[in-house]
Structure 1
């Protein structure tokens, strides 16, 4: 729950920042000065990019959580015990030792969203955030395809 609160606080702060920058951009656009107008345009582009990035990250978090809940409901969340630091983060050595099994599962079933999600958890435990996000993104896409195919089959039969 504290993660959600932190995300909400950060999203609210970014939204406030976007609004303030957009307001400054508007003031510069209406200044009538060529340099002010150019700066005003730039200040409108930056908040649009920030809003897009914020929306994308929030949607990724929501979808990753939904896919994780589905995996948990199926009883397929990894249950291996991994030692943690006092901060709660997993010890990299323990996470690295589990990684080959998850990688092999993805290689054996590259279209299985469950395997990709578990691989993402393994990457995250090993501290490789970039690859973790990539694996979870792949899991989200495959899970969406799986849901769509199930819905089509239910519709047909």
Structure 2
């Protein structure tokens, strides 16, 4: 238990550090954009406004990812309390890579459960980790977002 708390704190500290560095970058870009707008020249104003859009998009993406991470952790805590967290017991190569063929076989079983219970956030959470083990990070993220929407009480997308 102490190891998982330590690991979680390290992960959060790393994410917070990266977010802080990104915030510094956003601040510098925004400061330069305002300076360009302050030139009073048409091209400077146009570039300044364009460069201000970038920090706004970055801030939106950061907030979106942090909110997802917080909800995923809440779901993980709830699953852990119920003894339902996904277990990573797939065979690995000596280098630590998951055997993709075995992961795809395990994926099929998890997908079937999700198809039979499309309104259950737990099945979507498990599906996300099955997608990740099978190497499909994009669908893993989509599944986590679906799990989150269901966890918060939203309807699944059909």
TM-score bucket of the superposed structures, by smaller chain: 0.7 to 0.9
The 2-side partners of 1:83 and 1:75 are apart by: 22
- Alignment match, 1:20: 28
Superimposed CA distance per residue, residues 70-115 of structure 1 (whole angstroms, 9 cap, x where no aligned partner):
1111111233621234564433222112111101101111111111
Q: Select the residue among 141, 150, 154 that pairs with 1:142.
A: 150
Q: 1:9 deviation in Å? A: 2.1
Q: 1:123 deviation in Å? A: 0.3
TM-score, structure 1 normalization: 0.85
2:33 is the counterpart of 1:33: no
Q: 1:33 deviation in Å? A: 1.0
- Alignment match, 2:141: 133
Change (3 A) 1:85 1:58: farther
- Alignment match, 2:132: 124
- Alignment match, 2:87: 79
User: Where does the alignment leave 5 or more consecutive residues of structure 2 unmatched?
Assistant: 1-6
- Alignment match, 1:152: none
- Alignment match, 2:100: 92
TM-score, structure 2 normalization: 0.85
Moved more, 82-91 or 51-60: 82-91
Residue-pair matches, total: 146
Q: Select the residue among 68, 72, 75 that pairs with 1:67.
A: 75
Q: How big is the alpha-carbon RMSD for the aligned residues of Structure 1 and Structure 2?
A: 1.7
Secondary structure at the counterpart of residue 127 of structure 1: coil
- Alignment match, 1:104: 112
Change (3 A) 1:10 1:86: farther
Moved more, 33-42 or 83-92: 83-92
The 2-side partners of 1:117 and 1:40 are apart by: 42
2:14 is the counterpart of 1:3: no
